[in-house]
Structure 1
Amino acid sequence: MELHQLQILRELGTLGSVTAVADALRVTPSAVSQQLAALQRGFRTPLTRKEGRTLALTAAGHVLAAAGAEAIDAMAAARNALDEFEHESTGTVSVSGFHSVGQALFGPLLRDLAATAATPTVQLTDEDVAQSEFPALTARYDLVLAHRMEHSPPWPVQGIRALTLVREPLDVAVATTHPLAQRTSLTPADVAGERWVTSRVGYSPDDVLKAIAAVANVAPQVQHRINDYGAVAAVVAAGDAIGMLPRYTSRSVDDSDIVRLPLHGVGNHRMIDVLARPETLRRRSVRVVVEGLQRVMARLSE
């Protein structure tokens, strides 16, 4: 039983297919299958089973994967003991972020780190996925900027650490010519009957709109589904529909023709979190980047 075989087993449980594991670990699917077969030879109880055309973990496989995650973490602690002793903060740290948080944080993060001595090299990528898909990204990136609605289920705790950057409200956006533009705040009853531009299903604005519809007992009139907040603001400014914009991470949006209004009476806050593997957070270079993200977000939400 080798440590890299346990890592492959864990990734299979997380990512759900041999192909996805191969892609995350940058090896061939054949190599993944060979290592799983070699691991299986050390156990009488089956660790995997076929589910259609994919390979899944058995109950025994999940038990071994969980134990393997602890072993990987322990090995990472041993490997990083010397780095901790020498206060090593350089190296390369990969960061993925969904679109709006990338627009809001990536530039300020780079400037913040550039002002600090002996900082790591940061590699930035945008990954805008549905809430349920964020944890799997920790197999590919050191740090994953993720969002979830405050009332939704928390992130998985096995093999994942979550650090909250901010609790961000989503505000209703209307054109300056809209009758609601003169209000100081809104309730679900005020907006439920309006035409909406919202996000695709599985993203925060659509979750809030569903809550508005439930509280007001009015079916929402969804005219447009757009994930880019700049495009949402343009549609709102045209007077064709009203929408929702996150309060802190959409400040780059042009507000000259729209008005943002607080929404009360429904859960409309999303959590912006940093997700990472426990062993990844043991690296000082990674923690330096996390601290930079925390400083940038604190300034943004003032």
Structure 2
Amino acid sequence: MDERQLRVLRELGELGSVTAVAEAMRVTPSAISQQLRLLQRSIPVPLTERDGRRLVLTAAGQALADAAIGVETALARARHTIDEFVDEPDGAVSVAAFHSGAAAFFPLLLRRLQGPGSPRLSLHDEDVAQDDFPRLTRHYDLVIAHRLDHAPAWPRTATATALLREPLDVALPADHPLAAKPRLTPRDVAGLPWITVHDGFPLLATIEAVSAAAGQRLDIAHRINEMSVVAEVVAAGGGVALMPRWTARPHPAVVLRPLDGVHARRHVDVLHRPERVARRAVQTVLTALSSAAEAVRSRGGDAEAQGAGAEDR
């Protein structure tokens, strides 16, 4: 049985005829009769009987019709609860992000959503391989993810909202001889030791592109995913690395230089399941993330002043 069938039974008990029920529910009498037949299939005793030309409820039918009042009341309460949940401005919203994305966006979100009635944020860091970001949307309302510019688009199972299309620059010690150059080529850096991410993570394909453009295999000295640690290792002379221009935290002993001859750029997107943004609180956080992206992008001017120059074409 379902809600509509129970309502038909209840209306029949109150209005006294199939025709009257059909008029009240704005359907045909045959549609009402079909709903009654479907309901009867799930009940072991007769619910209706003939009284002359009229179809009336049996004692069992009347008992079920009375119970239908409670069912409709409970469903109405449930719908009201859902409506309140969906429209709740200060509802809980879970946000996950890769490490450098979390460092860039989480503080901005917290500052923007501090006032009364703001969503209650639950923040999580998730350092996963590129292909695993869409799966995180099962567990979090919003997932800040990144992929290389030339990588396949996110699967249709997740909706993507673009935040940044971020250049990837070469990070090297501020006192390195190459720091004097405004731009670098793959040949400039191919002979240096490199720090890069683990297999399967974004950025690695760009490292391979640098190797291909230089015509020689790069010396991968260190495998480190956390960008703040990478910056420390670069500053200490442990090698050079590819680092995002805007989301990586600036280091006083590290400079960023654009890399010519390689398509070095990544997408930073928010992934979510479509039904999640039906909630007002989630929409508020998504809007705040888009606003925060503008702040992150403008904050990258410091790196450009050090010699990063205009964005790669």
Structure 2 counterpart of 1:195, from 177, 193, 196:
193
Q: Could you say which residue in structure 2 is the equivalent of 1:216? A: 214
Q: Could you say which residue in structure 2 is the equivalent of 1:121? A: 120
SS in 2 for 1:145: strand
Q: List runs of 5+ in structure 1 lacking aligned partners.
A: 1-77
- Letter in structure 1 aligned against 2:259: L
Structure 2 counterpart of 1:176, from 153, 174, 177:
174
SS in 2 for 1:286: helix
Q: Could you say which residue in structure 1 is the equivalent of 2:273? A: 277
Distance in structure 2 (CA, Å) of the matches to 1:121 and 1:240: 41
Distance in structure 1 (CA, Å) of the matches to 2:126 and 2:82: 32
Q: Could you say which residue in structure 1 is the equivalent of 2:142? A: 143
Q: How much has 1:107 moved relative to structure 2?
A: 1.3
Distance in structure 2 (CA, Å) of the matches to 1:245 and 1:202: 17
Q: Could you say which residue in structure 2 is the equivalent of 1:286? A: 282
Q: How much has 1:177 moved relative to structure 2?
A: 2.3
Distance in structure 2 (CA, Å) of the matches to 1:298 and 1:135: 24
From the superposition, tell whether residues 106 and 181 of structure 1 become closer, same or farther in structure 2 (CA, over 3 Å). Answer: same
Q: How much has 1:234 moved relative to structure 2?
A: 1.4
Q: How much has 1:258 moved relative to structure 2?
A: 1.6
Distance in structure 2 (CA, Å) of the matches to 1:266 and 1:83: 51
Give matches, 1:42-81, under 5 Å: none
Distance in structure 2 (CA, Å) of the matches to 1:262 and 1:134: 27
Q: How much has 1:229 moved relative to structure 2?
A: 1.2
**Largest Rg, 1 or 2:** 2
From the superposition, tell whether residues 298 and 194 of structure 1 become closer, same or farther in structure 2 (CA, over 3 Å). Answer: same
The range that moved more, 119-128 or 198-207, is 198-207
SS in 1 for 2:274: coil
Q: Could you say which residue in structure 2 is the equivalent of 1:154? A: 153
Percent of pairs with identical residues: 43
Give the TM-score, by structure 2 length.
0.67
The range that moved more, 219-228 or 239-248, is 239-248
| 8 Å contact kept, 1:172–1:242 | yes
1:195-230 alpha-carbon deviations (Å, 9 max, x no partner): 101111222332211110112221111000111112
| 8 Å contact kept, 2:154–2:160 | yes
Aligned length in residues: 220
| 8 Å contact kept, 1:80–1:283 | no
1:138-182 alpha-carbon deviations (Å, 9 max, x no partner): 11111111000010000001x310001000111101112211110
- Letter in structure 2 aligned against 1:169: P
CA RMSD, 1 decimal: 1.9
Distance in structure 2 (CA, Å) of the matches to 1:83 and 1:171: 47
| 8 Å contact kept, 2:87–2:279 | no
From the superposition, tell whether residues 195 and 82 of structure 1 become closer, same or farther in structure 2 (CA, over 3 Å). Answer: same
Q: How much has 1:193 moved relative to structure 2?
A: 2.0
Give the TM-score, by structure 1 length.
0.69
From the superposition, tell whether residues 291 and 261 of structure 1 become closer, same or farther in structure 2 (CA, over 3 Å). Answer: same
- Letter in structure 1 aligned against 2:119: P
From the superposition, tell whether residues 285 and 80 of structure 1 become closer, same or farther in structure 2 (CA, over 3 Å). Answer: farther
1:18-69 alpha-carbon deviations (Å, 9 max, x no partner): xxxxxxxxxxxxxxxxxxxxxxxxxxxxxxxxxxxxxxxxxxxxxxxxxxxx
Pair 1:262-2:261 in alignment = no
| 8 Å contact kept, 2:87–2:281 | no
| 8 Å contact kept, 2:190–2:210 | yes
Q: Could you say which residue in structure 1 is the equivalent of 2:42? A: none
